[in-house]
Structure formats: structure tokens, C-alpha cells
Chain A
């Protein structure tokens, strides 16, 4: 594939100027690629720097108590992160309650039960769930899902749990259709493909000998899964869950549509709330005053720190796994 002219040039390599030019292009090319690689690091550092400098007035004004103050009052310029942080954590938790069992279940179906001819189409369909842009989930959640929840599902939930101690406070109040629960449900649907994709990959790395040995001892399919496949794949599955969690924490548009954007903490999951990303998306362009925008940027800083930590943990687990797989082959 190397140009013929090039190899001829080399056969008369006595022309040392040409060799020197090769060296020069070699060096330049290497440096250019290195510069671009450094740009990736610079981007990361730049995000950090920009968020800290943008949030500085708020960091100075509110200090560490920003984290546990619930007030969010643009008029008196008193801001606290508690409500959006709470909303972010609760919606992501609900999302994981849905996405973890379903995501792993689909991966089990695809690797162990699914007829070979259906594996590819079903796998692609599940991946498609991750490929649909989040704004589509948002508009669908607002116009299609929320009315159904409001009219049919939520009244049922309220009535069913009305006399159960803890659940009656979780499912209380007027059904708006939008709110924490709706946002969590949509986040769950959006993030389950990440768990499925990674679980499926690690399930497939389980050596067949291990499974066959367990089957040979008379184990059922479920027993093989529970006692052989899942323990073997644990690190990978946990890595996939963390990756999905990172996505859920930072997801913006789908949540913004259906969360209701209310800066308060309610015990009821049916009540409207807000998340960090939804608060920024809704309010940033309208933020006037010395502290409003910085407070929103500080929220962004918190979000970036938390997601970076979660994603770093996920990557670390998956890298360990890769190294293990690499060592074996």
C-alpha cells in the first residue's frame, strides 16, 4: 500500500536530505497527534476551571452550607442546592430500581434463552432505546406518558397505598402526571440499554467449560446463571450499572420536560420537583443578578464532580476486567 515511488526513493536513500525530511515530518506528525491527545486533557481541565471560575461568587457567598440549604429565591438572592441535589439523587435511584433488574434480565434473555436468529434484531432494538435522543423521550413523556399516568396509574397508586404506613406518604397528593416518579421512570427506560450492553458482553466472556461443568452436575439454567455466570461477571455488571447511573445523574432534556421544575422537597414521589440539570436548563438564560447564574453554575460544578466520580469508578472496574480478560487469552 505504500506508494511505489516511496520505496524507490528509499532504494536510492543516499539522498540524505530526503531522509532528513522524513525525520522532520515524522516528528511533526507525532507532535500534532500528541497535541490533540493533550487537548482531551485540556478539555477536562477547562471544564473544571470554567465551572469553578463561573461559580466563584456563589462559592464565596454561600460557602459549604450551599449543599444543605433548601431555599431557592432569586428575588432575595438566597440559593441552596438541597432540592435539586435531592431530586437528582431520587430520580436516579428510581431509574436504577427499574434499569438494573430489567437491563440484566434482557442480557440474560439475549445470551441464554433467545433463539440465535432473534438475537441480533432484539439486541439492536434495545440499543436503539439508547440511541433515541433525550429530547424525544422528553416530548413523549410530557404529551403521551404523563396524561396516562395522571388519569389511570397515579390515582390507582394513591388509592391502593392509602392505608399502608410508609407507602401512603410516598404516593400521596394530587396526581399531576409529571413529577419525580415520572422522571425516574423515563430515566430508567433510557439507561437500561447501557446495563444490557455491558452485561451481555461480560456474560459472553464466561468460559463455556464453567457453565457446562455446572450443567453436568445437574444444575438448572437459573442455577447456572446465579451461581456461575453472575459471580463471574459481577465486576462488569457493576461497572455497567455505574455507567448507567452516571448517565442518569446528568441527563437533562428528558427530565426537564417531566419534572415540573419546583424547587422544593416533597415526601411524595408524585409531586413535582427539580434536578440539577433541569434547574440549569430551565433557568440559566433567565438568570439575572449577581448570584443567580453563579449559583446555577455551582450546581453544574456539583453535578460534574459527582458524575465524574461515578464514571471514574465505572471505568476503573471495566479496565480491571479488560486486563483480566487480556491476561487470560
Chain B
């Protein structure tokens, strides 16, 4: 009787632990399948023309130059607008607000924005900028991406500043340094690597974002450097090419997908290394 129950418990233990191993294999399996397909399809289409020619009309060969350029330009806009705002807001939460009710509300709203559907952010900027300006533009695309950058940077900045021991702040205050000097010259400096990590993570996050660009920056078949006009971007170009019936365009879409994934991977690795350095200190 007792041995039978014992064996049953052992068996149940084995089954459930086996299932958890299976779950891990399941997750890792999908990752391998996705990355494998991406490498296989993406590398076969990559050649020099991708970096020198603009997106082609159907049926002919071309590259992704205008889309790569557009993605870089709009990411720069987004980081230039979003990072300062995010760092300052995160600084308020960590240095001034801390446990006040007001800071709690902002933290709460920020965390909701952090996971809010990006397509809704696109609709927001469409309403706020595209309709007011009367046309689609790279500016609007940049601002739409900035609305994604801000919450990410707020979160990481606050977290990093909270890691700085209070004794550092107190030491500076004891020397008579005013509060704003303490923040800028002591805590910001001590948290610098962490804050940069946050900015990198934000860039990684926006480099694959498609939904907010669909109706803000739209797309552009041709080379354009005018930020007041519609501008191509890698994700939107991939979307249009993949949905088209042309095999050439599918090849280009896969190559673009590989470029984006590589970018995201490299940014995450750099961010992780920086973060590890901060932790060690």
C-alpha cells in the first residue's frame, strides 16, 4: 500500500518535471526554427545591391537603401526626442518624487504605456501630427517612435538611479552641493552605463516597430531625405514586399528581416554587456 502510493508520487513527479523539460524544448525549438529560417532565407538574398540601390518596382532587382536610411533617420529622431524626456522624467521619479502619490501615478501610467499596443500610438500621432500638418512625414514617424522610447527610458533610468546608494548623495550634500548638482554630477555619472543601456534597449525596441509607422511616415518607393515628406523604413518596406505576390520582393523582404534581427541582437548584446558592467560595480 505505502509502496504503491510512493511509486505513484514518484511517477507523478517524473511526469510533471518531464513536462517542464518538454516546455523548455518547445520554446527553444521555435527560436531555432525562426532564426534558422531567417538565416537561410535572409543570407541567400543579401548582396551588395541591397546597400546601394533603392526599393525596386515589381519584377526588377533593387535594394533597400532608402528603407535602411529612413529607419536610421527616424530612429535618430525618436532617440533625440525620447531619451532626454525619458531620462528627466525617470530622474524626477527616482530623485524627487520617490514615494509620493504623484510619482506612483506616473509610474503606473508609464508602465501601462510600456506595453500599450503600438498601433494605437500610431493612431494617436496620426491624429496629432499628420492631420494637423496635412501630410504624412518622417517627423511624424520619428515622434510616433519616440512615444515608444519614452516609457522604456523612464523605466530603466528610474531603476538605475534607485540602485545608486544614498550614501553617495549624502556625501555630496554634506559637502554643500546643491540638489541639482548632486543629481547631475553624482548620481547621473554613477548610473551612466545603466542609462545608456536603457537608451540602447529602446533603440532595439523601435528598430523593428512597424505598426506606428504605417500611417505616420507611410512609405516611399524612392530615395528621399526630406523629413517633411513620407519616408520609407525597413519594417514597412518588409511588410509591403512580403504581402506582394512577387518572388523577388519576397527575397528582399527576407534580407530586410535578417538585417533588422541582426541589429536587434547586436544592440541587446551590447546592452547586456554594459548592464553586467554596472552590476559588477
Contacts and interface: CB of A to CB of B under 8 A. Distances in A.
Interface of A: 1-3, 6-7, 10, 13, 22-23, 25-26, 28-30, 32-41, 43-44, 46-47, 50-51, 53-54, 101-106, 108-110, 112-114, 122, 124-126, 128-129, 131-140, 142-144, 189, 192-193, 196, 220-223, 225-226, 243, 246-247, 249-253, 256-257, 277, 280-281, 284-285, 297, 300, 303-304, 307-308, 311-312, 315, 319
B115 A243 contact: yes
A32 B117 contact: no
B260 interface: yes
A304 B41 CA distance: 36
Given A26-B179, A126-B27, A143 B250 contact: yes
Contacts of B88: 32-33, 35-37
B215 A36 contact: no
A183 B27 CA distance: 17
B110 A109 contact: no
Nearest to B254: A139
A197 B116 CA distance: 19
Given A40-B113, A102-B23, A284-B215, A135 B208 contact: yes
B34 A30 contact: no
A109 B181 contact: no
* Most central of B12, B119, B261 by chain A CB within 10 Å: B119
B112 A40 contact: no
Interface in B98-123: 103, 105-106, 108-113, 115-121, 123
Contact of B178 (A22, A54, A139): A22
Interface of B: 9-10, 12-13, 16-17, 19-24, 26-28, 30-31, 33-34, 37-38, 41, 84-86, 88-89, 91-93, 95-97, 103, 105-106, 108-113, 115-121, 123-124, 126-128, 147, 150-151, 154, 172, 175-186, 189-190, 204, 207-211, 214-215, 218, 235, 238-239, 242-243, 250, 253-254, 257, 260-261, 264-265, 268, 272
A138 B117 contact: no
A327 to B, nearest CB: 14
Closest CB pairs A-B (n = 7): A133-B208, A250-B117, A105-B23, A29-B180, A33-B92, A50-B127, A36-B88
A270 B22 CA distance: 26
A223 B210 contact: no
B91 to A, nearest CB: 5
Contact of B10 (A39, A220, A250, A308): A220
Contacts of B257: 135-136, 139
Given A47-B121, A281-B214, A135 B238 contact: yes
Nearest to B183: A29
B151 A311 contact: no
A135 B121 CA distance: 17
Contacts of B30: 129, 189
A253 B264 contact: no
B124 A106 contact: no
B117 A54 contact: no
B261 A133 contact: yes
B70 to A, nearest CB: 15
Given A7-B175, A13-B176, A40-B89, A122 B116 contact: no
A133 B189 CA distance: 32
A274 to B, nearest CB: 13
Nearest to B117: A250
A37 B97 contact: yes
Nearest to A105: B23
A106 B97 CA distance: 37
A2 B204 contact: no
B125 to A, nearest CB: 8
B181 A250 contact: no
Contacts of A110: 24
Contacts of A41: 105-106, 109
A141 to B, nearest CB: 9
B68 to A, nearest CB: 15
B119 A250 contact: yes
A81 to B, nearest CB: 15
21 contacts: A2-B182, A36-B88, A38-B106, A43-B113, A47-B121, A50-B123, A50-B127, A50-B128, A53-B127, A106-B27, A122-B28, A126-B28, A133-B235, A220-B13, A246-B115, A247-B115, A252-B118, A252-B210, A307-B116, A308-B116, A315-B112
A23 B261 CA distance: 48
A2 B116 contact: no
A7 B171 CA distance: 12
A253 to B, nearest CB: 5
Contact of A285 (B95, B127, B184, B214): B214
Given A53-B127, A102-B26, A126-B27, A252 B211 contact: yes
Nearest to A316: B108
A26 B172 contact: no
Contacts of A223: 9, 13
Nearest to A21: B178
B177 A33 contact: no
Given A303-B117, A315-B112, A105 B151 contact: no
Contacts of A307: 115-117, 120
Contacts of B172: 1-2
